[in-house]
């Protein structure tokens, strides 16, 4: 064991081509070894491979599609065992995984947003969201023995703010998609499937209010601070003692042409 650490950033970029300048700022500031992006909104032939390699990330694992969704892992060091994963019978580019440093498996996941009506019968998007979480949880539950001693990081835009202080107003948000009890229950099952550690709350425990998303619909987002913590980094317990620190880069929400999400960065010792 060395004293070397590595940094992992996760960010719903909301279109990689629009956000290239902000990605450059993130890279310059944090020097992350691995960057996991969601909602890249680009298929293979439209993805800016050369521009990203020029930022210092020669290794790129992409699961892209035209127009929406899409996830990728950018790395300064080689990626192994790259795998695109599909859930609920849909090939909708929401999950990619790869190994870094030979033995740390990174899962970059973009859980469906779920629409506006929190009823799976009235709203098929909400049904998709709940089933997606169930599918992944069931898979990991069934393979718990395989994953028992693995070093895993699961990160991304989970589109669920699970804890009371992950939203600006717990009571008002209970009927709003992203904080409904049924979503929290599904995400909790997913977290418990392999006994994951919530890296952000490891350093900023409840009842501290922390958010990673502020709506575009709210021009006074800084004043009102009506945020939600939708972006997460989890690790298996094998990595818990190696967690060095976590940051939520709120300042990136006020930059020019921002995403409505901000990056979350974890530092982990190797």
261: confidence class by pLDDT, cuts 50, 70, 90: very high
- Identify the pLDDT of residue 256: 95
User: CA-CA distance, 49 to 17, in Å (whole number)?
Assistant: 11
Domain that holds residue 200: 5-269
| pLDDT over 70, % of the chain | 99
Helix (H) or strand (E) holding 43: none
User: CA-CA distance, 136 to 95, in Å (whole number)?
Assistant: 10
Tell me which residue of 154, 152, 61 sits closest to 104, measured CA to CA. Answer: 152
1: confidence class by pLDDT, cuts 50, 70, 90: very low
Could you report the per-residue pLDDT of 207-254, keeping only the tens digit for each? 999 999 999 998 899 999 999 999 999 999 999 999 999 999 999 999
Count of domains observed in the chain: 1
User: CA-CA distance, 154 to 135, in Å (whole number)?
Assistant: 15
Q: CATH number, domain at 110?
A: 3.60.10.10
Sign of CA dihedral 170, 176, 177, 182: positive
3: confidence class by pLDDT, cuts 50, 70, 90: confident
**Which region holds residue 100: left if phi is over 0, alpha if psi is between -120 and 50, else beta?**
beta
**Partners of residue 233 on adjacent β-strands:** 155
pTM of the full structure: 0.97
């Amino acid at each position: 064991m060395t004293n070397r650490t590595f940094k992992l950033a996760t960010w719903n970029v909301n279109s990689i081509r629009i956000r290239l300048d902000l990605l450059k700022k993130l890279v310059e500031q944090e020097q992350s070894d691995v960057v996991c992006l969601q909602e890249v909104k680009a298929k293979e032939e439209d993805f800016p491979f050369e521009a990203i390699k020029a930022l210092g990330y020669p290794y790129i694992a992409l699961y892209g599609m035209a127009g929406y969704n899409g996830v990728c892992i950018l790395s300064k060091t080689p990626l192994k065992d790259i795998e695109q994963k599909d859930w609920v019978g849909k090939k909708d580019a929401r999950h990619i995984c790869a190994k870094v440093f030979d033995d740390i498996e990174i899962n970059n996941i973009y859980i469906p947003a779920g629409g506006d009506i929190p009823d799976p019968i009235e709203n098929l998007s909400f049904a998709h969201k709940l089933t997606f979480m169930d599918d992944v949880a069931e898979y990991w539950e069934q393979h718990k023995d395989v994953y028992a001693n693995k070093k895993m990081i699961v990160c991304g835009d989970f589109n669920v703010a699970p804890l009371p202080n992950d939203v600006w107003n717990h009571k008002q948000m209970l009927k709003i998609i992203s904080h409904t009890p049924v979503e929290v229950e599904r995400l909790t099952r997913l977290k418990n499937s392999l006994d994951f550690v919530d890296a952000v709350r490891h350093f900023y425990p409840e009842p501290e209010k922390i958010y990673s998303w502020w709506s575009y619909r709210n021009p006074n987002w800084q004043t009102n601070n009506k945020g939600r913590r939708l972006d997460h980094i989890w690790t298996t317990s094998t990595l818990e003692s190696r967690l060095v620190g976590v940051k939520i880069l709120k300042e990136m929400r006020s930059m020019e042409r921002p995403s409505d999400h901000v990056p979350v960065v974890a530092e982990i010792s190797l």
